[in-house]
Structure 1
Amino acid sequence: MFLKNTVVHKILLFFSLYFFTSSYSQEKNKTVLLSKALDSISKKYDVFFTYNPTIVKGKKINSVIFSTTSLQASIQKIKTLTSYEIDYLGNSYYVLYKPQTNIASKNKEKFIIDTTTTRIKQKIDTENYITLKGIVLASENFPLKRATILENDTKNGTTTSNDGSFTLKLIKNNPITVTYIGYDAQIIKSQKEFLKIILKSGVQLDEVQIIGSRNNHRKKADSPVATDIVNINKVTNKSDLIDVNQLLQYSIPSFNATKQSGSDGADHIVPASYRGLGPDQTLVLINGKRRHQASLVNLYGTRGRGNSGTDLNTIPTSAIKRIEVLKDGASAQYGSDAIAGVINLVLKDTTDLVDINTTFGFYNASNNKDSSKKGVDGLTYKTDLNYGLKILKNGFVNISTEIISKDHTFRQGTNTRQNYGDAALKSNSIFLNSEIPISPKIKFYANGGYSDRNTEAFAFTRKKESERNVIDIYPNGFNPLITSDISDKSISAGIKGNYKNWNVDFSNTYGVNNFHYFIKNTLNATLLENSPTEFDAGGHQLSQNTVNLDFQKNFSYILKGMNIAFGLEHRKENYQIFSGEEASYSSYDINGDVVTPLTPVSDLITLNSVVRPRGSQGFPGYSPSNEVNESRTNFSFYLDSEFDFSEKWMLATALRYEHYSDFGSTLNSKLATRFKILPYANIRSSFSTGFRAPSLAQIYYNLKFTNYIGNEPVESFLIANNDPITEQFGIHQLKEEKAFNYSLGLALNLNKNLNITIDSYHIAIKDRIILSGNFDATTLNLDIQNVQFFANGVNTSTYGIDFKTNWEKQFNKSKLSIGFYGNINEMTIDKINNQNLNQEVFFGTRERYFLIASAPKHKFTLNTNFQKEMFNINLNLTRFSSVELIDWQISEDLINFNNSPLERINAATDFYKAKYTLDLHFGHKISKNITFQIGVNNLFNTYPTIQGNDTDSGGLWDAVQMGSSGSFYYSKLQFKF
């Protein structure tokens, strides 16, 4: 348990602020628009007012009515303070009018409740009304269904049908406002018999978002914290990106998904990071609900070493409507893992539209010494489909499916790794999103999906003469294949509705990720020529069940608006390691029996006096001694509030308490503010504390495996954190990582064509969990040479700036868009918590370089898009920063470097120069329903700086963010009908 004394002060300060602002709003004497007062009373007492908007336009009333505790008292004060009358019509409806137009006496107005639409149609002198008809189109001339048309200063409105058409009865000469998400709103004053309204695509989505604020009236531009919104249709229509990681890599400057090669499981699930922090320090949500992590913990030679991230690629891009990225620490709002920020994937909700995309592509394979593999490789096929079906009046079911096939890429390898390149992949996935109304105020919703991926990656080469090879099986040595079957399942269901103006949401979300290894083109050297060449090596699984109950209400009559949200969450996690077949992990003696501690040394199978290693080569299987089945629970409570003190200044606060069954409790807080210094300029800032709970994999993962150190195979044992052996090394039970986040930003919307955002941040993390180096274990009698373990090993500080500039210009029949955005980032290691252990072994120079390299110094992107009628061309120029890594020469004896540590470190430092890549995409809208696109990523076939033979990956490059596969050429065909 750790609850500091300052916690009580935080709580008292928060509630003092709440009651002060409430009292202040009730006592302050000011005027508000009468229409706003009526809206506030409607929300407060769940009633409805109808009136002719022209008679109340611009009328104001003293705000003293907000302090009234009853509906009738409020109505009486309006009548007293104004010249209006209010009559009750029944069914919670009231009519407001001037006495001289009393409808009861003159019989000129009649009100009818339309039960089929749940609104009142007001008939006052039919000659004063007009019926408008029209159609709403996008600038690309396709209809916008569900666009909203509202009569100004009233609640009267409608939405467009599937063909974009609408009909609306309204008061003559009263303007209408037409809006659609992602497009600039239009105010229409003309009242022709038929209107053709064309909405232009906005430079930046300015819509109510799900993350960062629980205020359902808060727009992106007015948020006190920085956010990015990625519109999937816009991105995929001008790129070849086939998965979510790729999409974010080129859309969010501080997001990096580095493809690994020769890194066991990380070849199959790409470790992604945000702002240079660990893959598990960014929280992922689906429609605002917590997404489960992958069961894989990254181990050998990877970015995010020692971390378990969320596998974003299990969700088909065809299922995603937009991606919201909260660029701020948010543990106080959302709990563990939100140290770096939050990524929320919002699923599609379209109906009556079939959307089919097919992509074919390949890589330029000229960079390969093997002439048989030159030309093209990495053949990629992708087909996805999305279809939505309308359910009842406002409900829907939207289904997406995706099939991907990708072959290996082969790039220049070394003597230790002949087959270097990206893993092959076959993937199938299906995802569903639905919402069904139960009543006018209650909806049932559900989403979830299933993903199955089969991946295949080459391990390091086993040489012909090695004790790891059996010449009778592989006369020339062999390249083991690590293959996997990764299945991912999830389902989230809930009920949300409105009760006395409180929005209530109750949900249950379950997810499970299963990673099963199958090792092929391999052998167990101790079985000699009798060895199988394929093994079931076992695997691991992580499941998570989360129950949420959330409440939210907006008090528009307090200050300029106050929003309160609070909720409860209960989460249960389970982590398992399951064993493979016996031959995948065992060693056998000359009699064919499994080797045990009692087996005589003379019975061990050797080659040239060297004992042959156990298990399947490439990846040894999990044994029964590795098996794990552990669970934990977590309970949390949060309180989230926002105060709009004026139209210029707002303040947001959050407080969250969490209790974990395995390590204790934590309390985190957040304070954020936004101030409008000019009508087009906002300053925003925040401070928050955060945490990340150690994952179950970090606590319980254990495995004996072959580690390549200095190109030499070494038998290592990764010991579980709760193993008594870790105590012998002075390593204690893992505790949570603690963070402090600071941010300061500026948002400029200079005009409808240009907006600029600049946001700086500082993230300090204490007790980051790392995977240690290899300690000598020869004295432990464990049949291994080295041991390593997870520990709260380092404190780090990360500083950076995100910036984004978007400009767009509409011409007669064409449009030009230019975007320039980037990230500048720096991480420092403030302290290494090595206790009494050797620091260079615990977290040495090589590991420190790898950690720093996970936070690239910068990434800049310049994007230009030109569209003319049915044609579209897009250029994307990206600069990737330089990177320094330490290769395996650091482990060689100093005698090889003239006994000079400086000479050795210089020789071991691999410097990757900053590089530019240029992407070119061309699209043509063949017809209303068909679009064709061709393009190339990395047009000039740019590669990272070539290194020597001592890289961690076994190739001529280590894994860097720009990738090492070269140019990718593709064509894409899209059908919509």
Structure 2
Amino acid sequence: MFSAGSALAQDTEMEAVIVTGTRTTGLRAVDSPAPVQVLDATALQRVGQSDLIQAIAQNVPSFNAQAFGGDTANLTLSAKLRGLSPNHALVLVNGKRRHGTANLAVLGGPFQGGATADLNFIPLNAIDHVEVLQDGAAAQYGTDAIAGVINLILKDNTEGGNIIVSGGEYIDGGGKTGDFTANIGLKPMENAYLDLTFESRWHSSSFRGDVDPRVINTPYNTASSSRLSRYPDLVNAEHYPYLNRIAGDAEYRLNIGAFNAGYRFSDTLEIYTFGTYGSKYGAAFENYRVPNLVIGRDGTNPYPQGFSPKEGIWEDDYAITGGLKGVTAGWNWDLSSTWGKDDISVHTLNSINRSLYIDTSTATTPGSSPRDFHAGDFVGTQWTTTLDLTHDYEVGMATPLTLALGAEYREDSYEIRPGDVGSRYKEGSQSYPGFQLTDAGKHERRNWAVYADVAFSPIEPLKLDFAVRHEDFSDFGDTTVYKATGRYDFSDMLAIRGTVSTGFRAPTLAESYYSATNVSPTSAFVQLPPNSAAARLVGVNGLQPEKSTNFSVGFVAHPGWGVTATLDAYQIEIEDRIVGSGSLYGSGGAFNIPAVTAAIIANGNSLDPTVTQTGINIFTNGLDTRTRGADLVVTATTGMFDKGSVQWTFTANWNETEVTKIAAPPAQLTGASLFDPGALYTLEKSSPKFRIVGGGVWNWGPLSINLKESLYGPSKGIGSRTGAVYYQTRIKTAVITDLEVSYEMVEGVRVSVGANNLFNTYPNRINGLLRDDYLRNNSNAYVTQYPTFSPFGINGGYYYAKLNYRF
């Protein structure tokens, strides 16, 4: 039982002063004309997993985290805001643009095409708070902020710090995780600060797959024809009959560091710098290869029990910002420059080049092929220089008029480097062929921008903000985007607010130029670069920018008793949206297209001769979409008599995307479409219709209990073995419970135990008819039991313990 009396209630009305979504200084989140959700360090640390993506996703319902990715995308998981692409949310650190990952998410799914900033290279313990602007902000921050902005504000302490040690694993096994992180604030000299953070984390792989029908006797894989009868030693293989380990988490080791420093020369001049560095090794299982795949001319079998290749990456990520800020003649100014680089070395491990092995064998001698390959490199860089100016003018209105002006210059580059010779000989290394010389290349873009923003209150209850931004791209020309924001406070208890804005997103360089071959045991598909001569053979002549229009309207209520409630409805229309095509078959599909085979040849790709299906995928501007939704945030604090207090939160997001226009297929694809039903379903159905998060944190002396319930709405996907018949998989509405109990043993030492997904809830399995189709055709795809688009993952519950020492 609790009391909501004013004597015991605590005011928790989002009192934090924000810097995101406004150029006005000193604005509180609760007074913002645009919806901004603030997450402090305590809220971020209450999440069991120690990565930043999960910390935000478990607190902001409109921010959906990727749980699983295909191929190298499983090694760089991302997230998206308001149901759009990960590329539609701009990530800032201390208000400065963060560079994106070089690891493009290529294969299908709701996160396809993502190449935004990799949040896991920023230590969670380095962050003071996060400001999530859930509103179109292209005119304020850059033309890719269509869904909103995530601004990570780093700690700038001059004393104290903490050390956190944590560990956990999934209830059903796998995913063992260990994490060590330390943060310290220093004062190297008077008027200076230096905040340092280090984190080291490792995570083991998990497996949630089924048996592989290719290595067992079934009614469709009989004793006389099965590989088990021909290779009886298979039963002695590790994990038999669960030999295909592709369905689960990747393993990784991650070491990251961050610093934030500054020195104030005077009240009107300060120099600052901050940055991060991270080093990562990750490896993900690919589809198991059967024993008879590689047989030399002398009959030698290099893998008598078959083999399970892995994709591995060694990644280095750098970012550094330096700047000066001050006040001159009434103008607040900030001049900064930020450089970032993501350098990824891609490897294919425990594999073989089939053709190389066979071609080097003779009738009497076995062949030769490496087992580990360097498949190539991804390298992305970004250099941004920005000047921001603000000045307040007294013009006889209720508050001073704030005028903001700014300019920005940015250079981006994206490079693919070829693999070693063995990785690209003929069809290349099994599971992940090395990048061909025709795939390789370095591409660059430059753009500059100028902006103006004016905010004022003609009368006390009314706040208005108008922004305009002009950008010029070296490869797309120029554009101008706008934003208008308003808020009216009827009283201290109720206000309405709304925005209208336009946006413009140039395709990432990776979307335009990425080229590679994706191979499974039965198929080989080329990811065709849109900006290539080969793409023109299927009627795609490069990528064009997206254009967007955003509307939002909402209210802010303060009914009393420490309660704050905000509700914001929105609509986001995107023209010429950049999305991945469906599977376009050259052979082995329900509809085969001669132009597809011609494009593969023109792109210089050699495909595995053992596969039964070949084709292409490509990014293209083929669709217009409309996304509608609403965000609700309610917070309150209540006293529990003499038993402490409870901080209550109730947040919700409803979101729905509809494809409003599909471009006519190019003449080269007559009879086909760039978008199969699976690609359209991914956009419209694969994200949950709604997500509701409610919970409370009870603090009573040294004891703290955090209970959170998350309700995920239904989501759907469809799948097909050949592209002829599609089967729908539906994930029903699910409730996920998170619980953490924390106790301060002695001053400064707190022990926590908890669980994410306490009751070990799994998504519904993939449609049984589709899995039966895989079984009947001895397909390796049968091993995947749970849909990879599940918004709460496929691993079930996660238990953890944590020790936090503050000094």
TM bucket (normalised to shorter chain) is 0.7 to 0.9
Partner-residue secondary structure (3-state), 1:256: strand
Residue 569 (structure 1) aligns with: 408
User: Shift of residue 271 of structure 1?
Assistant: 2.5
- For CA contacts below 8 A with separation 6 or more, give which structure has more relative contact order: 2
Question: Match of 1:965, as an amino acid?
Answer: N
Matched position secondary structure for 2:736? strand
CA contact (8 A) 2:13 2:30 kept: no
- Structure 1 residue aligned with 2:714: 882
Q: Tell me what 2:202 maps to.
A: 405
**2:226 corresponds to:** none
Equivalent residue number for residue 919 of structure 1: 738
Alignment of 1:373-384 (within 5 A): 376-384=173-181
State the partner residue of 1:445. 272
AA aligned to 1:342 is V
Residue 386 of structure 1 corresponds to: 183
How far apart are the structure 1 equivalents of 2:717 and 2:96?
37
Using the TM superposition, name which of 844-853 and 331-340 deviates more: 844-853
The answer on 1:504 being equivalent to 2:351 is no
* 1:331 counterpart (123, 127, 138): 138
Change (3 A) 1:954 1:578: farther
Distance 1:698 1:412 in 2: 31
Equivalent residue of 1:852, what SS?
A: helix
**Cα deviation, residue 942, structure 1:** 0.7
| AA matched with 2:166 | T
Does 1:221 pair with 2:30? Answer: yes
2:386 alignment partner, one of 541, 548, 560: 548
In structure 1, the partner of 2:50 is 242
User: Structure 1 residues 661, 890: closer, same or farther in 2, change over 3 A?
Assistant: same
Deviation track 1:282-334 (CA, whole Å, cap 9, x = no partner) reads: 00000000011111211113322133222111101011110101110010111
Quote how far apart the aligned CAs of 1:241 are: 2.9
CA contact (8 A) 2:291 2:301 kept: no
In structure 2, the partner of 1:97 is: none
Tell me which amino acid in the other structure corresponds to 2:756: N
Specify the code of the residue in structure 1 equivalent to 2:574: I
- Output the CA distance in 2 between the equivalents of 1:309 and 1:280: 5
Q: Secondary structure at the match of 2:176?
A: strand
How many Å apart are 1:436 and its aligned residue?
0.7
Over 3 Å counting, the alpha-carbon distance change for 1:889 and 1:538 in structure 2 is: closer
Aligned with residue 582 of structure 1, among 421, 426, 434: 421
Partners of 2:532 and 2:542 within 8 A in 1:
no
Is residue 2:535 matched to residue 1:726?
A: yes
- CA positional deviation for 1:852: 2.0
Equivalence for 1:521: 350
The alignment partner of 2:50 has SS state of: coil
- The answer on whether the counterparts of 1:297 and 1:308 sit within 8 Å (CA) in structure 2 is yes
- Whether the 8 Å CA contact 2:212–2:782 is kept in 1: the answer is no
Question: 5+ residue gaps in structure 1?
Answer: 1-185, 187-197, 366-375, 588-613, 893-903
CA distance in 2, matches of 1:498, 1:728: 57
Does structure 2 conserve the Cα–Cα contact (< 8 Å) formed by 1:283 and 1:336?
A: no
Distance 1:301 1:713 in 2: 17
Residue 415 of structure 1 pairs with residue 224 of structure 2: no
In structure 1, the residue matched to 2:753 is 934
Deviation at 1:835, TM superposition (A): 3.6
The Cα shift of 1:270 comes to 0.7
What secondary structure does 2:543 align onto?
coil
User: Helix, strand or coil for the counterpart of 1:849?
Assistant: helix
Q: Call closer, same or farther: CA 1:383–1:884 in 2, change over 3 Å.
A: same
* SS of 2:422 mapped into structure 1: helix
Match for 2:545: what amino acid?
E
What secondary structure, in the 3-state scheme, does the structure 2 residue paired with 1:583 have?
helix
SS of aligned partner of 2:53: helix
From 538, 544, 558, give the equivalent of 2:376. 538
The equivalent of 1:751 in structure 2 is 560
**Corresponding letter in the other structure for 1:822:** A
> Residue in 2 aligned with 1:107?
none
- Give the Cα separation in 2 of the matches to 1:732 and 1:468: 42
Relative to 1, partners in 2 of residues 1:500 and 1:549: Cα closer, same or farther, differing over 3 Å?
same
In the alignment, residue 499 of structure 2 is paired with which amino acid? S
Structure 1 pair 258/553, CA: closer, same or farther in 2 (3 Å)? same
Instruction: Give, in whole Å, the separation in 1 of the partners of 2:782 and 2:119.
Output: 24
For the 8 Å contact 2:9–2:638, the answer to whether it is kept is no
Q: Which among 863, 866, 874 is matched to residue 698 of structure 2?
A: 866
- Alpha-carbon distance, 1:953 to partner: 9.3
Aligned residue among 624, 632, 655 for 1:803: 632
Return the index of the structure with the highest Cα Rg: 1
Structure 1 CA distance for aligned equivalents of residues 446 and 300 of structure 2: 51
Q: Pick from 152, 173, 176: which aligns with 1:345?
A: 152
SS in 1 for 2:678: helix
- Supply the AA of the counterpart residue of 1:323: V
Verify the 8 A CA contact 1:775 1:841 in the aligned structure 2. Answer: no
Q: Tell me the residue number matched to 1:252.
A: 60
1:889 deviates by: 3.9
Preserved contact between residue 61 and residue 691 of structure 2 (Cα < 8 Å): yes
User: What's the counterpart of residue 791 of structure 1?
Assistant: 620
| Secondary structure, aligned partner of 2:44 | helix
Q: 1:484 to 1:909 in 2, by over 3 A?
A: same
What secondary structure sits across from 2:758 in the alignment? coil
For the Cα contact (< 8 Å) 2:130–2:153, is it kept in 1? yes
Taking the aligned partners of 1:779 and 1:583, their CA distance within structure 2 comes to 25
Contact 2:294 2:301 in 1 (8 A): no
8 Å contact 2:201–2:255 — kept in the other structure?
Answer: yes
Give the Å deviation of 1:530.
Answer: 1.4
Superposed displacement of residue 918, structure 1 = 0.9
Whole-Å Cα distance in 2 between the matches of residues 481 and 671 of structure 1? Answer: 50
CA distance in 1: counterparts of 2:310 and 2:466, whole angstroms: 52
2:636 partner letter: W
Equivalent positions of 1:707-718 (< 5 A) are 708=520, 713-718=522-527
Residue 511 (structure 2) pairs with residue 698 (structure 1):
yes
In structure 1, distance between residues paired with 2:138 and 2:671: 31
Q: What is the letter of the counterpart of residue 423 of structure 2?
A: S
Asked if the contact 1:549–1:567 (Cα under 8 Å) also holds between the matched residues in 2, the reply is yes
Alignment correspondent of 1:685? 498
Q: Secondary structure of 1:378's match?
A: coil
Deviations 1:924-955 (A, max 9, x none): 01121100000111111110101243597951
Q: Which residue of 2 aligns with 1:594?
A: none
Distance apart, 1:840 and its partner CA: 5.1
Name the residue aligned to 2:229.
Answer: none
Q: 2:165 — aligned with what?
A: 358
Change in Cα spacing, 1:404 to 1:620, as seen in structure 2 (3 Å) is: same
RMSD: 2.1
Q: Which residue matches 1:319? A: 126
Shift of 1:235: 3.3
* 1:521-575 C-alpha deviation (Å, 9 max, x unpaired): 1111113241221111112111000000110012245412211101000000111
| Equivalent residue number for residue 182 of structure 1 | none
- Check conservation: 2:638, 2:645, Cα contact below 8 A: yes
- Aligned mate of 1:967, from 785, 790, 797: 797
Bigger shift: residues 913-922 or 458-467: 458-467
Change (3 A) 1:924 1:963: same
Please name the residue that 2:222 is paired with.
none
Separation (CA, whole Å) in 1 of partners of 2:685 and 2:119: 22
User: Amino acid of the residue matched to residue 352 of structure 1?
Assistant: E
1:661 paired residue number:
474
Contact kept in structure 2, 1:356 and 1:385, CA below 8 Å: yes
Q: Which amino acid aligns with 2:418?
A: S
1-structure distance, mates of 2:283, 2:649: 37
Q: CA–CA distance in 2 between the matches of 1:403 and 1:866?
A: 30
Secondary structure, counterpart of 2:54 in structure 1: helix
Deviation at 1:465, TM superposition (A): 2.9
Separation (CA, whole Å) in 2 of partners of 1:732 and 1:421:
37
The Cα of 1:468 is off from its aligned counterpart by 9.3
Distance 1:471 1:219, change over 3 A: farther
What is the rounded CA distance, in whole Å, between the counterparts of 1:489 and 1:717 in structure 2?
31
For residue 211 of structure 1, the aligned residue among 16, 20, 27 is: 20
SS in 2 for 1:851: helix
Q: How many angstroms does 1:478 deviate by?
A: 1.5
Judge conservation of contact 2:292–2:301 (CA < 8 Å) in 1: no
Native 8 Å contact 2:494 2:558 kept in 1: yes
Q: Deviations over 1:729-774 (max 9, x none)?
A: 2222311100000000111122352111111000000001122232
Partner Cα separation in structure 1 for residue 8 and residue 390 of structure 2: 33
Deviation of 1:413 after TM superposition, in Å, equals: 3.0
